Amino acid sequence: MNAPVHHAVHAARASRVGHIGGKGSKSLRVRPPAAERCVSARDRDGAPPGHATSAVARGWEDETLPLCGPLHRSILALDLESSSTRTDLVKVELRNQLYLLLHRAMRAAGIDERFCEPIEDRGDGVLVLVQPTDEVPRSRLLDPLIPVLAQLLGGYNAALRPADRPDHRLRMRAVVHAGDLLRDDHGPFGAEIDAAIRLLDADAVRAALRNTNAPLVLVVSQQIYEATIVHGYSGLCPQSYQRAVEVNVCGLTRYGWIHVPDAEASGHVQLHVLPETLQRAELRTTI
Q: Using pLDDT thresholds of 50, 70 and 90, give the confidence band for residue 52.
A: very low
β-partners of residue 187 are 184
Classify domain 68-280 at the CATH topology level.
Alpha-Beta Plaits (3.30.70)
- Spatial CA neighbour of 264 closest among 142, 143, 149, 151: 151
| Most confident stretch, 3-17, 33-47, 256-270 | 256-270
Q: Averaged over 191-204, what is the pLDDT? A: 98
Domain limits, CATH 3.30.70.1230, in the chain = 68-280
Q: Averaged over 1-23, what is the pLDDT? A: 47
Indicate if the pLDDT at residue 18 is higher than 90: no
pLDDT digits 0-9 by tens, 234-243: 999 999 999 9
Q: Averaged over 78-93, what is the pLDDT? A: 96
| Least confident interval from 17-31, 91-105, 187-201, 264-278 | 264-278
Q: Is 232 left (phi over 0), alpha (psi -120 to 50) or beta?
A: left
* pLDDT of the residue at 208: 97
- What is the total residue count of the chain? 287
Indicate if the pLDDT at residue 63 is higher than 50: yes
* pLDDT of the residue at 65: 67
Indicate if the pLDDT at residue 143 is higher than 80: yes
- CA 146/CA 153 separation, integer angstroms: 10
